[in-house]
């Protein structure tokens, strides 16, 4: 049975290896590239997978195009507050050659995300060039259109630590290190930078030494 999202988009979702037919749906699927199952790839025709790119298990990669079906779920009294075209995007994701992408990557794109060559992702990385809209006080956030994306670029040779989140408008220079669980907000970051959350510290002790 076709899901609503599949009526206006191409969805590749599975627990087996990508077939030749699956790979042909991508804008480009490189030599010796692989995406290990399970995976969920939305609109592969807008996704470029460079040569020797390896994407590990559990990837959710979303190049959003047409989510106008969401408008149908809004309560009738609020439908006029949104236009269907607000749910239409042209997200494009590009992995340059020789990238290593760890398990459970989640990518959300309504504009442009570029991962330059020789980038390493640890596990559970989020990369998003957009965010949910939440301006309307009465319509559930999941029914409001995503914001228009600000392009994201992760410079060549960079290393993104486990659990990091790369948000809209981030432009990382070359050979940048992003530490574990860091949240990187919009802006230009120089090459060779190290970006990290503050280290853990003792806030207080619940009991004394004699407990």
Instruction: Give 89-113 pLDDT, tens digit per residue.
Output: 999 999 999 999 999 999 999 999 9
Q: Does 62 have pLDDT greater than 80?
A: yes
Residues 6+ apart with CB under 8 A from 29: 18, 23, 49
- Residues 170 and 141: their CA atoms lie apart, in Å, by 24
Burial of residue 171 (CB within 10 Å: 0-12, 13-18, 19+) is middle
Residues 6+ apart with CB under 8 A from 7: 69
Confidence grade of residue 192 (pLDDT, cut at 50, 70, 90) = very high
Residue-level pLDDT at 125:
98
CA proximity to 153, closest of 179, 117, 105: 117
Span 198-205, average pLDDT: 85
Confidence grade of residue 211 (pLDDT, cut at 50, 70, 90) = low
CA proximity to 55, closest of 127, 1, 7, 6: 127
Q: Among residues of the chain, what percentage have pLDDT more than 90? A: 91
Pairing of strands 11-14, 39-42: antiparallel
Q: Does 134 have pLDDT greater than 80?
A: yes
Q: Which of 21-25, 42-46, 60-64, 200-204 has the lowest mean pLDDT?
A: 200-204
Q: Does 140 have pLDDT greater than 70?
A: yes
């Amino acid at each position: 049975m076709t899901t609503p999202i599949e009526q206006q988009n191409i969805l590749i979702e599975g627990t087996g290896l990508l077939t030749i037919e699956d790979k042909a749906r991508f804008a480009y699927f490189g030599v010796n590239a692989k995406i290990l199952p399970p995976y969920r790839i939305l609109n592969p025709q807008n996704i470029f997978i460079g040569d020797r790119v390896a994407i590990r298990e559990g990837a959710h990669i979303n190049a959003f195009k047409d989510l106008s079906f969401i408008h149908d779920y809004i309560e009738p009294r609020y439908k006029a507050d949104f236009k269907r075209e607000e749910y239409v995007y042209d997200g494009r994701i590009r992995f340059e050659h020789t990238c290593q992408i760890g398990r459970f990557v989640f990518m959300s794109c309504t504009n442009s995300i570029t991962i330059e060559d020789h980038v390493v992702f640890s596990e559970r990385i989020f990369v998003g060039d957009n965010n949910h809209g939440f301006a309307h006080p009465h319509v559930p956030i999941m029914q409001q259109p995503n914001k228009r994306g600000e392009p994201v670029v992760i410079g060549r040779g960079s290393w993104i630590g486990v659990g990091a989140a790369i948000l809209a408008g981030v432009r990382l220079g070359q050979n940048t290190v992003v530490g574990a669980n860091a949240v990187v907000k919009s802006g230009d970051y120089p090459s060779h930078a190290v970006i990290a959350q503050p280290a853990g510290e003792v806030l207080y002790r619940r009991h004394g030494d004699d407990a």
